[in-house]
């Protein structure tokens, strides 16, 4: 038996203007969970796309069970036992669980020259693989009836159904609740016991320490090293990732809090199961945190304030004057900006360049003669944003879809900073971003607060919420359950007591 289930040696990959991978190596032991770590732009996703056949390598070799292997495309990868559970699921919710599991490879039965899908066989096979993972799902049920976490489990069952020797997990817990994460880890532990090798990409240090056996760190497209997970502390992992020591993840607060800038009084959603009768205020130069569990309706509340959702009642005042917000443009005209939770779905404009993604919010400010875009001025705004937020890109003309997730998030932040809002709503601003990039986002938030900007931050990461917020409101089941103003009371226990107050 080979020492490693998978080996990648001397992998190189270049794109126009940038060398994404420079002689990278990776070795995965059978029956292990191998964490692949590095800052956004380090090359993790590019390496996995080379392994899965999405990209072709410029140089390098792949070995499966000690045998040199060439992987031509994702279909070839799956036939050779390499499967990938993507961060951004692409389900077909209107079709059954079984149809989603066997999409593109339906079992068929023949009636003379005619072939038809063998639904009976497909449902039977799906039941087998679901049961293998302890999933009590009806294969005939529509996939859209499941939660995101359950869909993630179906995706894993699909990977296992290919008799996968190696499974890649790319940020699998970014949209999961704690309970769903626990169940995912149970499935991964069962797979490990059966000899499956897994590559796990995540920026959540507590998860890495909990599930990983080995850790490989990449930095700027190069291989830094591989260690047993129990040999490294969290601080040592961070230092190896960023190439420097981060002594204070959260910057010190030097901003001054002023007068009330936003007042929301008794605002309610038109949907009775969403947020109801919520009142709160926000002050100039303040970072206001919103905590709560999944389903607490925090995002929905902010979307209501920003005009994405309809309100049934209540008032919103900005600078003491009541404003009517029926659509996002009304909110923007009132001095509000919003960075949404769903980066791919409602954040980036994937088919456009970095310049267009940043500039779209300020095109109306840079017009000559009322209708001609002032490109030199726009270019300066975009170049300044790239420099200030350290966006890793060969040029501002690069398509945003070609950037890593963290760099895409920085572009979205740049878009709103270019628009210069008085109030910035940031919904899960550091989701899917590595610790080094998180620190940069936190510093930007502190700088904005020092400039007198007011920030509302929704975060499901308790340390982030408590480390950045001046005040914290906690929601549960669509209602505001508590406000924490005293720094001495800002504890996880206090937040959870309000978050579970039905």
> What pLDDT was estimated at residue 87?
65
Question: Could you count the other beta carbons within 10 Å of the beta carbon of residue 442?
Answer: 21
Local structure of 285: helix, strand or coil: coil
**Per-residue pLDDT at 16 exceeds 80:** no
Asked if residue 130 lies in contact with residue 146, where contact means CB atoms within 8 angstroms, the answer is no
Residue, of 249 and 487, whose pLDDT is higher: 487
Sorted by sequence, the CB contacts under 8 Å of residue 386 that are 6+ apart come out as: 354, 393, 396, 414
How far apart are the two ends of the chain, measured CA to CA in Å?
Answer: 55
Query: How many residues are recorded in the chain?
Result: 502
Q: What's the pLDDT tens digit per position in 182-232? A: 888 888 898 899 899 999 998 778 889 899 999 999 988 899 999 999 999
**Per-residue pLDDT at 348 exceeds 70:** no
Tell me the C-alpha to C-alpha distance, in Å, between residue 285 and each of 259, 261, 270, 344, 405. Answer: 9, 9, 31, 29, 28
Strand partners, 216: 36, 226
Q: Quickly state the pLDDT bin for 502 (edges 50, 70, 90).
A: low
Q: Is the pTM of this model over 0.75?
A: no
Longest dimension (CA), the chain: 79
Sign, CA torsion 356/361/365/369: positive
Tell me the C-alpha to C-alpha distance, in Å, between residue 54 and each of 170, 172, 393. Answer: 14, 19, 20
Asked if residue 404 lies in contact with residue 391, where contact means CB atoms within 8 angstroms, the answer is no
CA angle (11, 16, 19) in 5-degree steps: 35
**Per-residue pLDDT at 302 exceeds 70:** yes
Residue, of 121 and 344, whose pLDDT is higher: 121
Question: Could you count the other beta carbons within 10 Å of the beta carbon of residue 3?
Answer: 10
Q: Quickly state the pLDDT bin for 288 (edges 50, 70, 90).
A: very high
Asked if residue 295 lies in contact with residue 176, where contact means CB atoms within 8 angstroms, the answer is no
The domains located in the chain, with CATH, are: 6-242 (3.40.50.300), 248-335+422-432+451-502 (3.40.50.300), 343-420 (no CATH)
Question: Could you count the other beta carbons within 10 Å of the beta carbon of residue 264?
Answer: 19
């Amino acid at each position: 038996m080979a020492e490693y289930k998978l080996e990648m040696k001397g992998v190189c990959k270049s794109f126009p203007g940038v060398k994404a991978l420079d002689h990278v190596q990776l070795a995965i032991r059978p029956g292990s969970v191998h964490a692949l770590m590095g800052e956004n732009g380090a090359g993790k996703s590019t390496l996995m796309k080379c392994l899965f056949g999405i990209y072709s390598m410029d140089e390098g070799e792949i070995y499966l069970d000690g045998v040199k292997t060439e992987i031509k495309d994702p279909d070839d990868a799956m036939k050779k036992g390499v499967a990938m559970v993507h961060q951004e699921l692409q389900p077909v919710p209107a079709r059954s669980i079984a149809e989603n599991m066997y999409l593109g490879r339906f079992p068929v039965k023949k009636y003379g020259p005619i072939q038809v899908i063998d639904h009976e066989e497909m449902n039977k096979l799906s039941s087998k693989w679901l049961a293998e993972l302890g999933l009590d799902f009806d294969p005939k049920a529509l996939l859209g009836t499941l939660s995101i976490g359950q869909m993630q489990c179906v995706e894993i069952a699909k990977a296992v159904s290919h008799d996968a020797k190696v499974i890649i997990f790319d940020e699998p817990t970014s949209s999961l609740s704690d309970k769903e994460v626990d169940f995912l880890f149970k499935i991964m532990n069962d797979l490990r016991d059966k000899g499956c090798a897994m590559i796990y990409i995540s920026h959540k240090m507590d998860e890495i320490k909990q599930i990983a056996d080995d850790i490989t760190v990449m930095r700027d497209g190069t291989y830094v090293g591989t260690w047993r997970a129990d040999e490294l502390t969290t601080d040592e992992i961070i230092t190896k990732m960023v190439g420097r020591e981060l002594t204070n993840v959260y910057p010190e607060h030097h901003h001054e809090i002023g007068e009330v800038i936003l007042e929301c009084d008794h605002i309610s959603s038109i949907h009775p199961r969403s947020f109801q009768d919520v009142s709160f205020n926000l002050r100039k130069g303040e970072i206001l945190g919103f905590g709560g569990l999944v389903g607490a309706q925090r995002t929905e509340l902010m979307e209501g304030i920003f005009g994405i959702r309809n309100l049934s009642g209540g008032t919103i005042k900005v600078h003491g004057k009541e404003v009517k917000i029926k659509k996002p443009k009304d909110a923007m005209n009132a001095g509000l900006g919003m960075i949404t939770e769903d980066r791919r779905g409602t954040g980036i404009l994937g088919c456009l360049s970095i310049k267009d993604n940043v500039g779209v919010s300020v095109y109306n400010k840079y017009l000559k003669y009322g209708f001609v875009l002032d490109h030199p001025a726009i270019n300066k705004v975009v170049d300044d944003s790239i420099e200030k937020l350290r966006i890793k890109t060969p040029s501002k003309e690069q398509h945003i879809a070609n950037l890593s997730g963290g760099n895409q998030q920085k572009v979205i932040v740049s878009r709103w900073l270019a628009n210069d809002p008085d109030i910035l709503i940031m919904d899960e601003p550091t989701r899917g971003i590595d610790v080094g990039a998180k620190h940069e986002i936190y510093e930007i938030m502190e700088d904005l607060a020092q400039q007198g900007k007011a920030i509302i931050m929704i975060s499901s990461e308790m340390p982030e919420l408590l480390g950045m917020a001046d005040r914290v409101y906690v929601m549960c089941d669509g209602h505001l359950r508590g406000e924490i103003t005293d720094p001495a009371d800002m504890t996880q226990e206090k937040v959870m007591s309000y978050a579970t107050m039905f």
